[in-house]
Structure 1
């Protein structure tokens, strides 16, 4: 049952507090990550602490925990604050209810709705699609690298680079990235030859204020990681030219760049492919179509605390 809309919409604040009641230890860990990630959004949602002077803006309650419901009723006796219940029943409370398991996307939407933010205009506006790397051939000729162009971006290149070719790439790009002096942990690279995937990632990353570069080929990704420090690289596996496994090895082969988290994006879900990704040095393996909850979990793990 959804909470009744107020006749007036309160002005948005830069930050709202959420008073959490109940939930298992595992769910508390998930909620901690959600609040950490939400701190990068506009508005921010942070967990309410008893030391705070003002009352909480929102209640988040475990509907299957009797003591949590009792504590919530005691603290919100006159029903002045919106509530979100997680479970199978609303206990007769006028509020938003969400089923288990906890899902990042649904909680974000529920938080926004709870404080009267229900239109895209209230969200942080995405930055213009940040730059896609220039054609690698125009910036760094690589005549020593044998590649085979593919008219269909979904096709696997027929010729895979050999060890000597990979060394040629590494030699032309020393891979000694420089950390930006002003905001050292704020850059993300998305490398995928699919414009659909790049746009999906742009939209999902935009609300969190990261600086994002885009590349269409492995060669472009190698070039960019050789000139800039990235906290995280989202890397397609199958691309024309150098594949994602080879790019990952190059990134991880240098000491400074090895600190970069590499997240593989692949339509392949076999155990063999995942093992191959692990052996190449990747930190996380996501399958396409990309699950939003898994993506937010990855963002929280590698990026949310790096401001």
Structure 2
């Protein structure tokens, strides 16, 4: 039975994503941001064990060696690829141009995996079809059990957006909703402090210019309280001078985003403060020590 794109959005499936040809910094950014897909129906992650087979390749199209390596991997309609790079002609797989637009990239990966799932379902229903490793997958994978679907648990992390602008609150709601965050809103710094004392938040997006207590004062209060000091504070401001950023750092903020907020920067920033990202960073530090 072909895979239906209109499946229950409460059910997700994990796919093994292999990146090829990116620098260490680019790979770190990709890995961090792809953690957000754990909240989407299609979740992309690196192999958790050596025996896990790749489901889809993500390749730096500007790197000739990477394109040569991809050819050696034997991508196919069953195990497709998505390219990232400058606009080029006659590429064998769909290209997402730089700078990366994260939602566009996620949507292209989803599209390719839907097509691949349809091809896999069609192939499994075709009697007598020989599996060839260079075209599909290894013959020994033919009778391997299907990777089970996993149930999405409800929202795991709570986020507080503090801004007196209804437009900004609506923007943040639309960008965070697809990733199943539990999002609360406050229109003033005083209300934000009260809310943060009652409910733990992974991340707090904080406007600087608000009536009453400004963002710098709110950040200091959040970071000076034992109940809220571990909450990541991301300041939002149309002021982006070095002095403004210094004031934000001095107040204790963890990151600073300029307004209007760029969607890609928002996603990559919040990915840095997920518990899974912190756990990975701590593990790397422990290994280095």
TM-score by length of 2: 0.72
Query: Which residue of the partner structure matches residue 242 of structure 2?
Result: 271
Query: Which residue of the partner structure matches residue 14 of structure 2?
Result: 15
How many residue pairs match? The answer is: 235
1:228 partnered with 2:199: yes
The 8 Å contact of residues 185 and 231 in structure 1, kept in 2 or not, is answered as no
Among 71, 74, 79, the residue aligned to 1:73: 71
| Structure 1 pair 78–266 and aligned structure 2 pair: CA distance change class (3 A) | closer
Instruction: Report matched runs for 1:198-237 at 5 Å.
Output: 198-237=169-208
| Structure 1 pair 10–17 and aligned structure 2 pair: CA distance change class (3 A) | farther
- Using the alignment, how far apart are the partners of 2:46 and 2:85 within structure 1? 20
Q: 1:106-127, CA deviations, whole angstroms, 9 ceiling, x for partnerless residues?
A: 322221222249xxxxxxxxxx
- Using the alignment, how far apart are the partners of 1:41 and 1:77 within structure 2? 24
SS at match of 2:45: strand
- Using the alignment, how far apart are the partners of 1:214 and 1:304 within structure 2? 21
How far did residue 282 of structure 1 move? 1.1
How far did residue 40 of structure 1 move? 2.6
The 8 Å contact of residues 154 and 180 in structure 2, kept in 1 or not, is answered as no
How far did residue 224 of structure 1 move? 0.6
How far did residue 185 of structure 1 move? 6.5
- Using the alignment, how far apart are the partners of 1:238 and 1:282 within structure 2? 15
In structure 1, the gaps of 5 or more residues are 1-7, 118-181
| Structure 1 pair 22–256 and aligned structure 2 pair: CA distance change class (3 A) | same
- Using the alignment, how far apart are the partners of 2:155 and 2:256 within structure 1? 25
SS at match of 1:257: coil
Among 230, 253, 259, the residue aligned to 1:282: 253
SS at match of 2:229: helix
| Structure 1 pair 24–218 and aligned structure 2 pair: CA distance change class (3 A) | same
SS at match of 1:258: coil
1:292 partnered with 2:263: yes
SS at match of 1:299: helix
The 8 Å contact of residues 187 and 232 in structure 1, kept in 2 or not, is answered as yes
SS at match of 1:193: coil
Query: Which residue of the partner structure matches residue 233 of structure 2?
Result: 262
| Structure 1 pair 200–80 and aligned structure 2 pair: CA distance change class (3 A) | same
Among 59, 62, 79, the residue aligned to 1:61: 59
SS at match of 2:36: helix
How far did residue 242 of structure 1 move? 1.1
Query: Which residue of the partner structure matches residue 30 of structure 2?
Result: 31
TM-score by length of 1: 0.68
Instruction: Report matched runs for 1:44-123 at 5 Å.
Output: 44-48=43-47, 51-54=50-53, 56-76=54-74, 79-88=77-86, 92-116=90-114
Compare the two structures and name the one with the higher helix fraction.
2
CA RMSD of aligned residues (A): 2.8
| Structure 1 pair 183–94 and aligned structure 2 pair: CA distance change class (3 A) | closer
| Structure 1 pair 84–77 and aligned structure 2 pair: CA distance change class (3 A) | closer
| Structure 1 pair 296–236 and aligned structure 2 pair: CA distance change class (3 A) | same
The 8 Å contact of residues 22 and 60 in structure 2, kept in 1 or not, is answered as yes
How far did residue 50 of structure 1 move? 7.0
How far did residue 9 of structure 1 move? 5.8
In structure 2, the gaps of 5 or more residues are 116-152, 280-289
